[in-house]
Structure 1
Amino acid sequence: MAQTLPTPIANYFAAANRHDIDAMLAPFATDARVKDEGQTHIGTEAIRAWLDHTTAKYRVTVEVIEITIHAETLAVTGTVSGNFPGSPANLTYRFVLNGTDIAGLTIG
Structure 2
Amino acid sequence: MNANPIELPDVVNRYLEAHHVRDTPTALSTFHGSATVTDEGVTHTGTAAIGTWLGTAASEFTFTTERLGAERLDDTHWVVTNRLEGDFPGGRVDLRYRFTLRSGLIGDLTIAP
Aligned residues: 108
Aligned: 1:24 with 2:27: yes
Deviations, residues 51-103 of structure 1 (Å, cap 9, x unaligned): 11214223554322111123442111111234411233211000000132000
Contact 2:12 2:106 in 1 (8 A): yes
- The amino acid across from 2:48 in the alignment is E
Runs of 4+ in 1 over 4 A off after TM superposition: none
TM-score by length of 2: 0.83
Aligned: 1:74 with 2:82: no
Deviations, residues 2-45 of structure 1 (Å, cap 9, x unaligned): 53211111011111121111111110011001011111100000
Aligned residues: percent identity?
Answer: 35
- The amino acid across from 1:9 in the alignment is V
Indicate the SS of the match to 2:20.
Answer: helix
The structure 1 residue matched to 2:52, chosen from 42, 49, 53, is: 49
Cα distance in 1 for partners of 2:10, 2:84 equals: 20
- Give 5+ residue unaligned stretches, structure 1: none
TM-score by length of 1: 0.86
Change (3 A) 1:61 1:97: farther
User: What is the match of residue 92 of structure 1?
Assistant: 96
Moved more, 62-71 or 42-51: 62-71
